[in-house]
Amino acid sequence: MTQFNTIRKACLAFVLFLTATFAQAQGTLNDIAFLDGRWLGTYNGGPIEASWTAPKGNNIVGFIRMIKDDKPALYEIFAFEQTDKGPVAMVKHFKPGMISLEEKEVADRYKFIEAKKNEALFEKDDASVRIIYERRSPTQLVIQRGKKENDKWSFVDLFIFNKIP
Domain boundaries, the chain: 2-163
Q: Grade residue 26 by pLDDT with cuts at 50, 70 and 90.
A: confident
Give the tens place of pLDDT for each residue, 52-77: 999 999 999 999 999 999 999 999 99
Residues in contact with 117: Cβ distance below 8 Å, sequence separation at least 6, in sequence order: none
**Residue with more model confidence, 53 or 2:** 53
Q: Grade residue 5 by pLDDT with cuts at 50, 70 and 90.
A: low
Q: What is the pTM (predicted TM-score) of this model?
A: 0.81
How does DSSP assign 98-133, residue by residue?
TEESS-TT--EEEEEEEEETTEEEEEETTSS-EEEE
**Cα distances (Å, whole numbers) of residue 15 to 1, 18, 19, 47:** 21, 5, 6, 50
Cβ proximity of 50 and 68 under 8 Å: no
Of the CATH numbers 3.20.20.70, 2.40.128.20, 3.40.720.10, 3.10.20.30, which one belongs to the domain with range 2-163? 2.40.128.20
C-alpha–C-alpha distance, residues 49 and 41, integer Å: 6
Q: Grade residue 44 by pLDDT with cuts at 50, 70 and 90.
A: confident
The residues with which 77 forms a beta bridge, in sequence order, are: 63, 92
Q: What three-state secondary structure class fits 161?
A: strand
